[in-house]
A and B are shown apart, each in its own frame.
Chain A
Amino acid sequence: AQTVTQSQPEMSVQEAETVTLSCTYDTSENNYYLFWYKQPPSRQMILVIRQEAYKQQNATENRFSVNFQKAAKSFSLKISDSQLGDTAMYFCAFMKHQGAQKLVFGQGTRLTINP
């Protein structure tokens, strides 16, 4: 079974700083998807960024980028120029590529952006 581990339960940075959230996963699959979701205090789950394992290039979405290291099974999220609205729980998630699949989530990292 696939597992996803987020080793940082909480992080806190000042506004405008850059922050990196860690995620590692365990799988024997060669092809899969990885995601970062954000859950602000409103409780809504919001897709931040998506990576396909067969693509070498790291995904980017505006201020959000990932460092995908397939051999190390690592998928970290970098938030540049952090804003107060980035304060949220961040979840890393894994999904196999074939068949009927489910998102497997990590435990989450609570990120606080301080003014």
Chain B
Amino acid sequence: DSGVTQTPKHLITATGQRVTLRCSPRSGDLSVYWYQQSLDQGLQFLIQYYNGEERAKGNILERFSAQQFPDLHSELNLSSLELGDSALYFCASSVVGGSSYNEQFFGPGTRLTVL
């Protein structure tokens, strides 16, 4: 158990819908990262937040957005869902966000299925 929690564990929805994935980082970690992992694309970095502010951006679509709240939990919002958005979404956290050494601890993931 990494100490990172994600809810829900599974989510099934229809195309065109909007969903919110939630992540609580390990106690004391200020940085939160979101990743998408699909069978054909591997693990794709989406976005990072550090202490409430966006720190780095990866391959995140405009239909997706995220935020980190004052209590450091984070939410990933996915809208206008398409079949291709079906994937495992991981959240990871680390103590700091700007230093070189940046061990990330991954949550168990949310499996999203878009029908």
A and B from one complex: no
Binding site for B on A (CB under 8 A): none
